Every structure is written in structure tokens, then in C-alpha cells.
Amino acid sequence: MEMRPVRIVVWSDVQYPYHDTETDRAFNRFLADFQPDFAVLNGDGLDFPTISRFDRNPVNPTSIRAEVEGFKAYLREKSRILGPNCHKHFNEGNHEDRLRKYLWRQAPALSDLGGLSLQSLLDLGDWSYTPYYDPMNVANGSPDASPGIDISGLLVIHGWEARKWSGMTARECYNQFGGSGITGHTHRLAAFYHTKFDGGGDDGIRELATYVWLEGGCMCSLTPPYAPAPDWQQGFVAGYLLPDGGASVRFDIRQVPIIHNKFMWNGQLYTPQSRGR
């Protein structure tokens, strides 16, 4: 029997409370229409400016509680739109990892309390979860040794590399991991493709294989108070996987650029005001 392709969507770097509410409205309408089978919020959903080691403007105070409660509402809204049949996954990013770093620095005796973990604070519910992978701290007790989630051979990571130009980080991800995948973190849209001969086992047969790594853009404001005129692009990744015995042999994934809070998918224009199909 022919298998139905699995619909996937991956987005990252919402940076709550520096999220873009207009873009989010358009994205919600897309999610309601597309109804993915697998959805990944790929890190930095929360910004955690309150516990950042960087300077903060005291004129615009916030609190960890307000940030957490606001982002919990964001997750509940996404869960409602995606529905119970969608597998929902949250990859923790380096900005969420600020909580761990803050506890390690300021209150190490409290750092292992379960109630202070990100999972507990966010009450993730039906979202599966991968802690942030920090290659600098793996040997010193980093929360997890997994860089992200593998979806039938497509590796989705938040990432820690941020090279200067669009596409250079995607190339570095291929150098580190091989295969195909998606990374967040850079706030840029880019694709790196590579074709090579694979195989050459006992049967001596070698075949051409093509791989792709994508930088998935961001969903935060492009004018945050801490970064004047950043070289960022709003967008997300969506498409299809065709599983075959647990391995992805075919996929069609692509970046969806968002320009002035609007984007196209399959000939449909999505705007903050549009109703979708």
C-alpha cells in the first residue's frame, strides 16, 4: 500500500516577549490549513531577557513569571490549532538555557529542583522535549547529549553555530553531522546542498546521494530593542517526508520566507488579516 507523505513544519526563534504578533497571526492561519503531522518549535521560543548576562534597559522591566506565563499561552494556542493528532516537539534553545546557566551561577543548590526545570515551568503537556545541547558543557553535565530530534532521517537542531553570512552555518552543520537537517539559531534563511557518492559496501555498489541543510529563519521581531538593523529574515520550514521502513528516502522541505508579515504557500497568500482557505 502506498504511504501518505508526512506533513512537517519547523519554526524557531520566536524570542518571546520579542515575538512578532502580526507574523504569528498569519502563521496560525497557515497551521490551521496545513494541519501538519509533525510540528517542531525549534528553540528560543523564550528569550529570557530578565536573566540574560547582557545589559537590560531598566525603563522596560519584565519578570520571569510574566515571560513564562505569556509563552505558556503561546504554546496552548499552538496546541489548539495543531490538534491532538499532530506530534508536537519542542527543542530547547540557547536562550531557554539561560535558566540553567542562571541557576548554576546564582543558585547552584537549587539547580536540580524539578520545579525549576524548563519542562516543569512551561507545563509542556503533549509536547515532547529535547533539552538544549551545549557542546561546551557536555562533559560538565549539560542536560542532554542529543543535539535535537531525528524525524525519519531529517535531523532538526536549534544549533549553536552562527557564521557571518547566510548559508555558511548550514554548510558547517553538514560538515558536523552529514545527512540532511534543519537548524535554527542564526535567524537567517539559507540552504546548503551537497551531492556525493554514498555506499560502497560488500556489494561494491555506490550511488549518488543528495543532502540538504536549511537555516530556518526566525519568527521574532526584526526590530528588537537589543539589535539595531540585524541581518535576519523571518520564515519557517514546511514540507513533506515519505518514510520507508523508518528511514526517510524522499523529502520535499522548503523555507517559507515571510516579508512584511506576509507569505505564500501553494499559491495561497497568508497575511495577518487573511482567513486562509
The reply to whether 233 falls in a domain is yes
**CA-wise closest residue to 236 among 222, 253, 217:** 217
The reply to whether 22 falls in a domain is yes
Q: Across all residues in the chain, what is the average pLDDT?
A: 87
Continuous segment of H or E residues that includes residue 127: strand 127-130
Give the pLDDT mean for 93-112.
89
What's the distance, CA 273 to chain centroid? 25
The reply to whether 41 falls in a domain is yes
The reply to whether 215 falls in a domain is yes
Q: What is the number of structural domains in the chain?
A: 1
Confidence class for position 200, pLDDT limits 50, 70, 90: low
The reply to whether 276 falls in a domain is no
pLDDT surpassing 70 at residue 205: no
Confidence class for position 246, pLDDT limits 50, 70, 90: very low
Does a cis peptide bond (omega within 30 degrees of 0) precede residue 17? yes
Residue 130 CB contacts under 8 Å (≥ 6 apart), including other chains: 89, 90, 91, 92, 144, 146, 148, 149
pLDDT surpassing 60 at residue 55: no
The reply to whether 28 falls in a domain is yes
The reply to whether 1 falls in a domain is no
Q: Is the pTM of this model over 0.75?
A: yes
Confidence class for position 247, pLDDT limits 50, 70, 90: very low
At 19, list the grid cell: 515575538
CATH (domain of 100) = 3.60.21.10
Q: Which domain holds residue 148?
A: 6-270
pLDDT digits (tens, 9 = 90+) for 137-182: 654 444 556 789 999 889 999 998 888 888 899 999 999 998 899 9
The reply to whether 145 falls in a domain is yes
